[in-house]
Structures are given as C-alpha cells and as structure tokens.
Structure 1
Amino acid sequence: MLDFYSELDFAAINPNTKFILVIGNPVYHSLSPKMQNFALRKMKLNIQYLKLRADHTQLGDILGMLRGGRFAGANVTVPYKEAVIPSLDSVDPEAKNIGAVNTIVNRKGKLMGYNTDGAIVPILGKTVKLKRARCILLGAGGASRAIVYGLKKAGADVTIINRTLDRAEALARAFGCKSAPLSLESMSRLAAATLFVNTTTIGMHGSPSGSDIPYLPRKFPKGLLVFDVVYTPIDTPLISKAVRECNCITGERMLIAQGVKALELFIGKKVPDEVAVGMHDVLLNYIQ
C-alpha cells in the first residue's frame, strides 16, 4: 500500500485535476508541498502537489502510475535520485552528467528525467564571479554532486573536502576537481578562497553530525561568499559565524531555486517573479 501524506484541497479537485508527487523515504518532513501548492494556486492551475513515502520495492509501480494522465510528474528525493534513472524514457544530459534525477516530467506517458539541484549556482554567480574562482566545498554526499557540476561548468576551481577521503576523491574524479581530507591544513585554504559551500548536515537541527564545522577560522576572510545548504535553522552556526565578515546565502534559497525550476518543467512555462517571492515567504513561515 502506498503511503501518501495528503495536503490536498479536496474541494478543488475535479475530473481534470492533475497531481505532482514528491517521492522519498522519509518524506514527511518535506516542505515542497507548502511552497508548490501556494504557487499552483496563485497561478490558478488545476494541479495539486503531495508527498508519497515509498519503499524501494514500490518504485516500479509508482513510476508506472506516473505515466497516467492524472499525473504531471514527480520530484524525487533521498534515497531514489539514482534508482529511478533506469526506468525513465529519457534523461536530460545535465542530469545524466550529474548522475542523479530529482524531477520527473510526464510528457504524454513518457517519463523525462531532470536535475534542478544545481539551480543555486547561478544565484551564487550573481554575488561572485565563478570563472576561475577558488571554491572550497565541504561534503561529498548527494547534495554535493549537482553543485560541483554547476560550479565546474561555470569555470570554478573546486576543492572537495570530506571526512572520508575516498568519497571526496571519487567525486573529484567524476568532475575533474581536487580533493582533500577534512583537516586544519585543508580548511586553512579558506584564506585564499572566493566561495565556501557546506553540503553536509552539520548545523542542522537534530543532526548526528553536530552543530560546528571543525577547523573553521576564528575570523573569515573579507569578501568570501559562504553558502550553507542547511536551512533548519536558517541562521546555522556557520552562517552566524561568517556573517560578520562575509557575504552569506542561506540554505532555503537552494530549495526555492530548485523548486521553481522543477515547477517550470512540470507546467511548461515560467513562474512569475512575484510567485517565486511568495514561495520563499511561505517557506520562511514554516521554517522559522
């Protein structure tokens, strides 16, 4: 039995209503339905967005269901971003290069895979020039792949630092980056960096990784741009320390950026700027 977490507006459902899912395990904590349903209502679209917790044994049935005419597609989160790929009819070249899909669009029964997780990179590029920029990226997990790909595509010089060196090395080989173990020496490279990105869960509410990133400098170099993917809390320990000397971009900006890009793929048109701003406000209301 499929385990839906319903946030549906049942009064608004009619025979022409379509649905978008976010599929993962766990998925109950996802805030995507809050912001996406806000946007769908504002744009007066007859589409509703809901969460679906899925066991890996159910993926085939779920993807088969997505081919039906009532579904516009689905977002895919942990742990299925790679597992869905073999069942798709086509995969966008960028998602193929990244090696993960987070957005599936139903086009007349054909399932098309995309990855919008790198949508934060152009936002970073509005604050600093990424071409030949020295970027230090902490972490080598699922959140890092699309960001590393986007940074390399923009021409950045990326060093991946991770507690487990072999994971950093594997990711570095995949995208032509440098790698280093997490240490005082590797983190001292922040002094000459343009951008520092934390893609780990360090600083997240309830994270077993703890709240403080090891070996951070007592004083950050002025002009450094700091981006933390963690958005619960928005003012993470990293952001709170860095904001005195650095430009900072908080984690909910990535959730909004990838969500807007995914929605545009689902509906086939641009999301108006004022709707995107409203999505951000909705998200902040639920995070804070």
Structure 2
Amino acid sequence: MSGINAGRVVVVTGAGRGIGRAHALAFAREGAKVVVNDLGTEPHGGGRSPEPARAVAEEINDLGGQAVANCDDVTDWDGAARLVKMAVSAFGGLDVLVNNAGFVRDRMIVSMTEDEWDDVVQVHLKGHFLPLRHAAAYWRERSKAGDRADARVINTSSGAGVLGSVGQANYAAAKAGIIALTYTAAAELGQYGVTVNAITPAARTRITEEVFADMVAPPESGFDVMDPANVAPLVVWLGSPESAHVTGRVFELEGGMISIATGWRHGPGVDKGARWRPVEAGEAVAKLIADAPQAEPVYGTSG
C-alpha cells in the first residue's frame, strides 16, 4: 500500500475497537506497517481477550497491508518495553506511537473508590507514559548512533481533560495529565527528531455510546458525526513526515471539525511589589477575574 505513511512503522494502543481500530486501519491504508495493541478488556477494564487485536491485524493483512497483533499491558513496564521491541523486531523500527488505550469508571467524587481512581489514572496516564518512555529511549539511542529519528507521538486526551467533566474526576485528571505530558515530551524529545501532539476526540465508542447515541447527522447528509473513523485522518497526518513542523499542540476533533485547544496560558496579572494584605489580595482577585476571559463551563454543568 502507498500513501503519506508508506513504509513507516506505527504502534497503536487500544487498537482493537473504536477509535484505535480506526487509527490502525487508516494508517495501513496510507502504507504504514502497524502493531495493533489491545488487551481486549471490557469498557470498564475487566476481562482480557486476544481476539480484538488479532481481528484488526488480520483485517489489515487481508486488505493487503502489514500488521501484527500485540496483547501486552501498556501499564506494565516490561509489557510496554515488549510492545516497542515487537515493532522493531517485526518491522525493523518504530516511527509512530499512537497512545489510545483506556477505559472509564465514572463516579461522583463523593462516591468514588480508591480503586476506581487508581485504575483509571493508571490505564490512561501511566498507560501513555510507559510506551512513550520506551519509544523515547529507542529514538534517543538511534540519535546517539547518528541516525536521527523522524518520529511522531500522538497522545489521546479528552475534552474532559481540557475543561473537566462532572462524574469523571479520575478520567478528567488523567486526561489533563496527558496534556501536560504531551507538552513536556514535545520539549524534551525534539532534539531527537520526535514530535509529540495530543488529540481530544469526540466519537461514539463502547465507552461513550450512551452519551453520543443520538448525536448523528440527518440521514440525508450521509455523514455520521460521531463515527470513530472521523478522528483518524488528522492522526494519520500527524504521524506522517509532513507534520514535522507541528509539536506540542492539542487538537480537538468532532465530526468534521478540527480546532486547537489553547489550554492554560498566562492571563492578566498585577504585581504590588510587596506582600499583599488579605483584603488587598481579594480586591486584586476581583479585578483579575473581571479582566480575564470567562472560564469555559465544565462538561456536565449548565454553564
């Protein structure tokens, strides 16, 4: 297969279903060799099955592409290392890492258990860090050997990570952490020829199917706004050599819309040049709030 990623080796985590599956297929159609990683868990993280990863890899191979299935756990140090090593051993290298794996265990803060917090933060935030850590070590070694990479990392955050989301404190915190990880990795890894960006996709998956069940375009348009395949084109482009000038960015995706999330920025400020008295500090805060842009509403609120 030919295309903008012809010959490039791509790892996609959580690629057995939904958005990850769409990424894997789209990369293959653009000529990439794909490592399809998935544990085959249920929407809330229980159970395991090798079948989802195998099915997607077989689908790619049947289409004339090249793919292998991988069922390593991206939250395990050794498992993430094996994932990177599989790409190198199967296809001779690694050019693109798409971190996508995750699940949800939604609960209001007052009802959330420690396990519900830990499990969600682990699969999203640690599950992004570990593959990135091992991929970065591979690219650094290549660079030190005089073979500078032309590599890409695309992380998967969420609107919940940008704005917060009622009933999803664990998920929102992890997704916000992924954005900070993206910024930091982009700054650190650029010297090795690696760009790092993030997306915040809105699409109908096993995790969100109830939320987005009714969000479809009118039948006459022929365009399903919440189809996971809508997310893949930008990700495939971000994984290509053409995107070398783009790094440290967060892109919001929904249907046919692409936008950049500007995130936290330094806003209005006031410097007294001395220690504030509490009453003065309150007065300063009132002025700063009046001068600053109005905060975006948290998902799930009426703001």
Task: Give the TM-score band, short-chain normalised.
Answer: 0.3 to 0.5
The structure with the greater share of residues assigned to strand is: 1
TM superposition score normalised by structure 2: 0.39
TM superposition score normalised by structure 1: 0.41
- Greater Rg over alpha carbons, structure: 2
